[in-house]
Amino acid sequence: MARVNVQLAVVNGRLVTPAGVRPGVVLVADGRITGIADSAPGHVRVLDAGGRYVLPGLIDSHVHFRTPGLEYKEDWEHGSRAAVAGGVTTVMDMPNTVPPALHPDAVVAKARRITGRSLVDFAFHIGADPLHPEVLVDLDPAIARSAKVFMAGHHTAPTVISEPEVLDKVFAAAAASGVRLVLHAEDQRLHDLLDAWRGGPPHAYRDYERWRPRSSPISAVVQVLELVRRHGTKAHILHLSSAEEADLVAAAAADGLPVTFELTAHHLSFTDADTVRGGARTRLAPAIRGPQDQDRLWAALRAGEAATLGSDHAPHTRDEKERPVADAPPGLPGVQELATAVWTGMRRRWPDEDQDTAVRRLVHHLGEAPADLFGLAGKGRLVAGADGDLVVFDPDRRWMLSASDIASKCGWSAYEGWTFTGRVQVTVKSGLVVYDREQGTFGAPGGRWLSPLSQEGGRTGNG
């Protein structure tokens, strides 16, 4: 090991590996983990973890970094800083930009625009185009291996696919090429029906959850499961909000259907009472629901029924959020808060759980699972040959989030004033420190576009 050109040795850490938590030293050379040793070789740069956990760099497979066209809300300089401050070193960006990324050429142009501006590595979900579902049949997997489907509209949704015959074509096209659909599963036709009956969209936050009821995502999930059964399409349902959705998808997966689902920190952290009290800060689509639904989502996480955790980082400006209820867009920032919010929730809900068991769960849902689901080779695992992306995480640090901590360009967080347990101390990407909390510093933007086809530890990039 001493003969390898080691550029970094992370010492005195509790290493969170696929085999469990163990002491040791992580060695990184040429941007990759070369091995785990008992001691550091001489004459190398040393990062002392101080007895804290050392995690693999985390993956957030659901962000909206708003480029191109909406950079006044967020951009990659700010969004990637928020990511590394939260221990995230790889993100998957959504297609609802201006113009939207509905065609491979748009994805390539987007990647070129981002290159040189991001601290984190990145991949993309292409948008499913209802006018041209055939794009998915011939989709080059080096461009994208997954496609976003909006089954209901909102302020930044570029396309809505709610007609059964169009959904059928999209699912068939995705199945033909092995593209995984990632779905915003709400029923737009149900929204339209209720709004027509009630005289318009919600006009007060006390009515918001009732105006965008649980019946909408439940109906959409039933449609998704029927289409998956018909075509064999791989489907990943985003931001589940209700107990019934979790039951349906878990049952379908147990029955052998290729369906998975994501939980967001927001739906795990807030309830509809927070939206009544705080208004637009926690206005989401799908809506945040009641405590019993939240309990079921936490149970799905603990049971391993959920596949991934995602932030649905969707910043808007304060001015946009202060608009009248019908005009205020849903969404909130969250990539910086994701891991810490989930960790805080786990420790408060299950205080007697072994800490190593809890941290392995966090790493599984923010590392191994999204890496496997979306073909991100070299990501999400602390093993020899993986990318040298590491996080020093203090599991016991108590701290209060304030506006001065927020790295997102929008400058606000729904979690402001929260007392968290657990904090990211240092984030390393490809062997280089990109975030140091104590120093208050960020590294240089060296993030790469990841090719899902790469078999070389995720080191092959495009653009």
pLDDT in tens, 314-360: 999 999 999 999 899 999 999 999 999 999 999 999 999 999 999 99
Number of alpha carbons in the 13 Å side-chain half-sphere of residue 237: 33
Residues 49 and 76 in one domain: no
How far is residue 6 CA from its own chain's centroid? 31
Residues 128 and 267 in one domain: yes
Q: How many whole angstroms separate alpha carbon 153 and alpha carbon 371?
A: 29
Flag whether 185 is in a domain: yes
267-270 long-range Cβ contacts below 8 angstroms, 24+ apart = 267/239, 267/240, 267/241, 267/294, 267/297, 268/294, 268/297, 268/298, 268/301, 268/341, 268/342, 268/345, 269/341, 269/345, 269/415, 270/414
Residues 91 and 16 in one domain: no
Flag whether 165 is in a domain: yes
Flag whether 412 is in a domain: no
**For position 201, what pLDDT does the model report?**
86
CATH of the domain at 449: 2.30.40.10
User: Which residues, 6 or more positions from 142, have their beta carbon under 8 angstroms from its beta carbon?
Assistant: 451, 452, 453, 462
Residues 323 and 431 in one domain: no
Residues 21 and 90 in one domain: no
Residues 358 and 220 in one domain: yes
CATH of the domain at 331: 3.20.20.140
Residues 128 and 32 in one domain: no
How far is residue 354 CA from its own chain's centroid? 25
Flag whether 463 is in a domain: no
**For position 243, what pLDDT does the model report?**
98
What does residue 215 show for φ and ψ, rounded to 5 degrees? -60, -25
**For position 460, what pLDDT does the model report?**
34
Residues 16 and 117 in one domain: no
Flag whether 410 is in a domain: no
Residue holding tokens 């190593």?
A: 356
Residues 35 and 49 in one domain: yes
How far is residue 250 CA from its own chain's centroid? 20
Residues 190 and 284 in one domain: yes
Q: Which domain holds residue 179?
A: 58-373
Residues 92 and 195 in one domain: yes
Q: How many whole angstroms separate alpha carbon 429 and alpha carbon 450?
A: 14
Flag whether 381 is in a domain: no
Pair of tokens at residue 26: 């992580």
How many domains does one find in the chain? Answer: 2
> Element (H or E) spanning 246, and its range?
helix 243-254
Q: CB–CB of 220/187 below 8 Å?
A: yes
Residues of the chain with pLDDT under 70: 1-4, 6, 155-156, 451-463
**For position 451, what pLDDT does the model report?**
67
Residues 168 and 296 in one domain: yes
Flag whether 248 is in a domain: yes
